[in-house]
Structure 1
Amino acid sequence: MRGHVVCGVTEGPEGFAAVTGDGTWTGLDIDFCRAVATAALGSSGAVQYRVVTAASRYQALAAGEVDLLPRANGRTLSRDVELGVRFTDTLFHNGQGFLIRRGYAVTSILELSGVSICVMKDTDAARDVETYYQARKMRYQLVATEHWQEAVKAYADGACTVLTGDIALLAAERSRLVNPGEHVLMPELVSKEMLGPVVRQGDEQWFSIVRWTLAALIAAEELGITSQNVDALRASENVDVRRFLGLEADIGRSLGLAPDWSYQLVKQVGNYGEVFERTVGLKSPLALERGVNNLWMRGGLLSAGPLR
């Protein structure tokens, strides 16, 4: 280890990886990199960020120029086996959603028969929405544009009822509309995309560290451990809490980490819910509901294997 983690980040969309005027990086991707640095090196500041493009990021990872990509393309069989990299787990469940004006007072996509839908033409989004509507024999009209910003403008100008695209992108665009609160994301998704950390093949220990860092963020939320109460919970008699905090057993030994790595992770970065809320959730400009990114016991898809 070079004394810091080199994180390959791709700027945007808002809430995931962005750099401020003073050079500070913020976002969901950034906080995950900080979590990995905390687990591996004991300090959330032991990380450097290198900007990689969508075209170059896998090559940079395979060449050892960066240690991980916090969020790349969605996991597919071909990407997982053909690029010399390994997908660890899901940091953010993305998918195609629908943005509509609040005034329509609808609560489900199934109420949107006969609507006009703004979308980029010749994209997966266009094909997926057609498949969804045709399978349900619902009427629709596509307002297809050459470029994404043209679709956004058409929606803002009232040329269509609904704007469709990835929920992360829709949330970012909503935050830039004149009255963001007048627009709502529908609860359903018509496609899924699992976005998460990627490491290069051949280093099983590093793969495990990155995977279990993400699991620890989720497990902390499952156990009710936050950056605010983590110290008070050291007095807990709950064996799972004590094990997580490194008091009952050394869960870092098999990973080559310090006994208190997961305690430090929550102390310095927070649990998954804290990270989500401040970067892309309701405490952020994106104002995303947890939805599928909630814990399994709250109707979402997130769960963590036991840290034991």
Structure 2
Amino acid sequence: MNKKIVTIALGAALSLSASAALADTLEDVQAKGYLQCGVTPSTPGFASPDENNNWSGIDVDYCRAMAAAIFDDPEAVRFTPLTSKERFTALSSGEIDVLSRTTTWTMSRDTNLGISFTGVMFYDGQGFMVPKDLGVNSALELSDAAVCIESGTTTELNAADYFATNGMNYNPVVFEDQDEVVKAYDDGRCDVFTTDSSALAAERFSLADPDAHKILPQIISKEPLGPSVRQGDDLWFNISRWVYFALLEAEEYGVNQANVDEMLGSENPSVRRLLGVEGEFGSYVGLPGDWAYRVIKHVGNYADVYERNVTPIGIERAGSLNDLWTRGGLQYSPPIR
């Protein structure tokens, strides 16, 4: 019995030590002087580099918003491109500080991988793209099709469920990297390309003849895409979550990158709390009182970020799930108070 008690006590102590080792991400980030952000290698609108390795996208801007909150500098961030297979290992091992990579929030990932999702940057769903000359108008007509899919993703699982549920056979053509998937589809190695509908819209522009392809109307899954951090560091989790909420809160109260300095004089208590004019809310997340002002000043609000990155790839926000809750969407921030 005594040995059992000692073993339990030792296990508890090791667990506490492991948690303590993880509970200093903010301190580590401040010490090295930058945030390390894991992103997709190239998905226009979400994260992609130009010829000079300058990154842009909604996931990129989220990481810049975190850097702005911490350092008052949106450029104090470095980007690590990761495949779907690499992304969770990179986060759990400490290679990156935050994962902001078109990643679907699921129960197994949120509970079984040692990571926590902090918000939904983009509500999406899986779709299908086909060549127009295939003569297909519905995903229900894809029986026996060869389907290009990226491995290690919810896309792979959803496709299997969809075809099985509808009594259809299909031939999965699987690749580890989405660039390989796109090339294989464009080269005619498969009949169908399936992934998140936002990525289909973005990747269609990269095809040799974009007008020769169409996205079918069926959406077969829920794909809430958002950033995540390692479990075991509550302060870091709170920073990452409230940076996301600040983007939404700012839009709801009409505070944007262009007018944020003027809004410092607002009489609206919600705006004053958001911008750090009233209250001590920065101290709750280990940051200066103007942490959210920094985010909005350097990066903007959620609408600024969306319109800069996602609207140009042809995905309108008005009336979609990604609109604010006040306009019928799902984007919603708890109050800062």
| Same fold flag (TM > 0.5) | yes
**Whole-Å separation in 1 of the counterparts to 2:99 and 2:72:** 20
Alignment correspondent of 2:272: 242
Question: Residue 316 of structure 2 aligns to which amino acid in structure 1?
Answer: E
Question: CA separation of 1:113/1:48 partners in 2, compared to 1, >3 Å: closer, same or farther?
Answer: closer
Q: 2:229 aligns with which of 199, 203, 209?
A: 199
**Whole-Å separation in 2 of the counterparts to 1:175 and 1:184:** 11
CA drift of 1:37 comes to: 0.6
Q: Report whether the alignment pairs 1:274 with 2:322.
A: no
Q: In the TM superposition, what are the counterparts of 1:154-303 in structure 2 within 5 Å?
A: 165-177=195-207, 189-279=219-309, 281-282=310-311, 284=312, 286-290=313-317, 291-303=320-332
Question: CA separation of 1:292/1:186 partners in 2, compared to 1, >3 Å: closer, same or farther?
Answer: farther
Alignment correspondent of 2:21: none
Q: Report whether the alignment pairs 1:15 with 2:42.
A: no
**Whole-Å separation in 1 of the counterparts to 2:81 and 2:71:** 22
Give the match's secondary structure for 1:86.
strand
Give the match's secondary structure for 2:242.
helix
Alignment correspondent of 2:147: 120
Question: CA separation of 1:202/1:124 partners in 2, compared to 1, >3 Å: closer, same or farther?
Answer: closer
Is the Cα contact below 8 Å between 1:145 and 1:151 reproduced in 2?
Answer: no
Question: CA separation of 1:113/1:93 partners in 2, compared to 1, >3 Å: closer, same or farther?
Answer: closer
CA drift of 1:195 comes to: 1.7
Structure 2 gaps of 5+ residues are: 1-29, 150-155, 175-180
Structure 1 gaps of 5+ residues are: 103-110, 135-140
Question: Residue 272 of structure 1 aligns to which amino acid in structure 2?
Answer: Y
CA drift of 1:81 comes to: 2.1
Give the match's secondary structure for 1:292.
coil
Q: In the TM superposition, what are the counterparts of 1:60-79 in structure 2 within 5 Å?
A: 60-71=90-101, 73-79=103-109
Alignment correspondent of 2:64: 34
Alignment correspondent of 1:137: none
**Whole-Å separation in 2 of the counterparts to 1:51 and 1:92:** 19
Alignment correspondent of 1:138: none
CA drift of 1:82 comes to: 2.1
Give the match's secondary structure for 2:88.
helix
Give the match's secondary structure for 1:170.
helix
Is the Cα contact below 8 Å between 2:117 and 2:229 reproduced in 1?
Answer: yes
User: Which shows bigger deviation, 47-56 or 189-198?
Assistant: 47-56
Question: Residue 42 of structure 1 aligns to which amino acid in structure 2?
Answer: D
Question: CA separation of 1:295/1:132 partners in 2, compared to 1, >3 Å: closer, same or farther?
Answer: farther
TM, length-normalised to structure 2 = 0.73
Question: CA separation of 1:121/1:36 partners in 2, compared to 1, >3 Å: closer, same or farther?
Answer: closer
The structure with the greater share of residues assigned to helix is 2
Alpha-carbon deviations, 1:84-107, whole Å to 9, x = none? Answer: 2222121122211356899xxxxx
Q: Report whether the alignment pairs 1:87 with 2:117.
A: yes
Alpha-carbon deviations, 1:165-205, whole Å to 9, x = none? Answer: 41122111332357758977677633111221111121110
Q: 1:146 aligns with which of 166, 169, 173?
A: 173
Question: CA separation of 1:113/1:44 partners in 2, compared to 1, >3 Å: closer, same or farther?
Answer: closer
Question: Residue 226 of structure 1 aligns to which amino acid in structure 2?
Answer: N
User: Which shows bigger deviation, 243-252 or 116-125?
Assistant: 116-125
Give the CA RMSD over aligned residues.
Answer: 3.3
TM, length-normalised to structure 1 = 0.80
**Whole-Å separation in 2 of the counterparts to 1:92 and 1:233:** 27
Identity %: 40
Find the structure with the greater CA-based Rg: 2
